[in-house]
Amino acid sequence: MGCGQTFVWQRDAHGWTGAIGRRWVQLESCKTGIIARRAAPVSDWSWLKNYLQTNVCLDDIFAAFPDDDLHLKAAISACRGMRLLKQDHWECLASFILSSTKQITQIHQVVSLLRQRFGSRITVPDGFPTMSAFPTAEQIARLDEATLRECKMGFRAPYLLDAARRVVDGRLDLVRLESLSLDEARDGLMQVNGVGEKIAECVLLYGYGFPDAFPVDVWVARALRECYFRGRNVPLVKLRAFSAKYFGEQAGYAQQYLFHHIRTRGRARRNH
DNA sequence: GTCCAGGTCTTCC
DNA sequence: GGAAGACATGGA
């Protein structure tokens, strides 16, 4: 949950607490799997299984990676079990619009402010802090730029507003993108002001499950240059072209493991 | 105080 | 079509 795909989960003494849609959830890993707790008893957990993509066999994913890639092998062993999530389309798009040139801790802050101020309150168990859902496109579209800027999102405010209004008035049909090819879906998302190739790929990977979406951000670019180009300053377009060919049909998973590995490795170094 | 962060857009050549 | 600068905010 701390792997940069989503910005809603908070770690506490019992694991991770967050909301999937309007459902408050607490997740705790144990030897046999994951313990999930909700505010009230439930019998149907299919929405959580879908979110966590528990039906995906990671060994099959790893088998599709390039043979004998020691960098990928190291990244996998550093965080074995990490999965790509299947998030809500709108929440994912909105969150990544807010992500450009912001540190991940700051994205969490902005998303948290947005939820608190404009999202609908959701039910939490007694004794737990209040929580709100991520505001819908309709809730955002009703606001103005100045109000959004109060959530510390700066120049990204008009971008978020543009996205929300496109979704509300139908110019952007987020459901329809599911049935398109990766290229077509990416083009669709990039109609939104403030959504470039990188943000579009993030949404298509974390919100739609396109297996070969491959966001190249500063971290992934750093990892690619270091691992596959001997640290040379290879331009972004060449890195993208290389990735599209090299990593294969499960490139998105390769990206996520490389991203997580280079970030956590850097953190470990700084702590020494 | 300075640098830079899960980028993108605009301007200028 | 590619390089350079602008854009808000705050963590490190």
In the structure encoding, which two tokens stand for residue A93, read together? Answer: 């798009």
Query: What's the pLDDT at A14?
Result: 80
Query: What's the pLDDT at A3?
Result: 87
Q: Which nucleotide's C1' atom has the smallest distance to the CA of A103?
A: B5
Taking the C-alpha atoms of residue A1 and residue A174, their distance in angstroms, rounded to an integer, is: 24
Residue found by looking up tokens 């998302």 in the block: A189
Q: How many degrees, rounded to 5, is the angle at CA A262 between CA A4 and CA A53? A: 40
Q: Between A89-97 and A197-206, two packed helices, what is the crossing angle to 10 degrees?
A: 150
Q: For A64-123, what is each residue's pLDDT tens digit?
A: 999 999 999 999 999 999 999 999 999 999 999 999 999 999 999 999 999 999 999 999
Query: What's the pLDDT at A34?
Result: 92
Phi, psi of A52 (to 5 degrees): -85, -10
Q: For A165-180, what is each residue's pLDDT tens digit?
A: 999 999 999 999 999 9
What b/e string do you get for A37-60 counting C-beta neighbours within 10 Å, with b at 16 or more? Answer: eebeeeeeeeebeebbeeeeeeee
Q: How far lies A181's CA from each of A92, A97, A187, A208, in Å?
A: 19, 22, 10, 11
Q: What is the pTM of this model?
A: 0.96
In the structure encoding, which two tokens stand for residue A142, read together? Answer: 């009703």
User: With contact defined as beta carbons under 8 Å apart, do A89 and A203 qualify?
Assistant: yes
In the structure encoding, which two tokens stand for residue A32, read together? Answer: 């046999």
Query: What's the pLDDT at A267?
Result: 57
Q: Is the CB of A267 under 7 A from strand C?
A: no
Query: What's the pLDDT at A272?
Result: 33
> How do strand A15-20 and strand A23-30 relate by DSSP bridges?
antiparallel
Burial (Cβ within 10 Å: 0-12, 13-18, ≥19) of residue A84 = buried
Nucleotides of B under 7 A from a protein CB: 4-10
User: With contact defined as beta carbons under 8 Å apart, do A73 and A62 qualify?
Assistant: no
Q: Strand, helix or coil at A258?
A: helix
- Give first-to-last CA distance, chain A, whole Å: 24
Taking the C-alpha atoms of residue A10 and residue A115, their distance in angstroms, rounded to an integer, is: 14
- CA A153 / C1′ C9 distance in Å: 8
Nucleotides of C under 7 A from a protein CB: 2-3, 7-12
Identify, with chain letter, the residue nearest to nucleotide C6 (CA–C1'): A155
Q: Is the CB of A147 under 7 A from strand C?
A: no
User: Residue A135: in which H helix or E strand, if any?
Assistant: none
Q: Which residues touch strand B (CB under 7 A)?
A: A 3-5, 99-107, 155, 190, 193-200, 202, 215, 217-220, 255-256, 259
DSSP of A11-33, one letter per residue? EETTEEEEEETTEEEEEEEETTE
The mean pLDDT values, 10 residues at a time, for chain A of 272 residues are 92 91 95 92 96 97 97 95 97 98 97 98 95 98 98 98 98 98 98 98 98 96 94 90 95 97 70 36
Q: Strand, helix or coil at A131?
A: strand
Query: What's the pLDDT at A270?
Result: 45
Query: What's the pLDDT at A259?
Result: 96
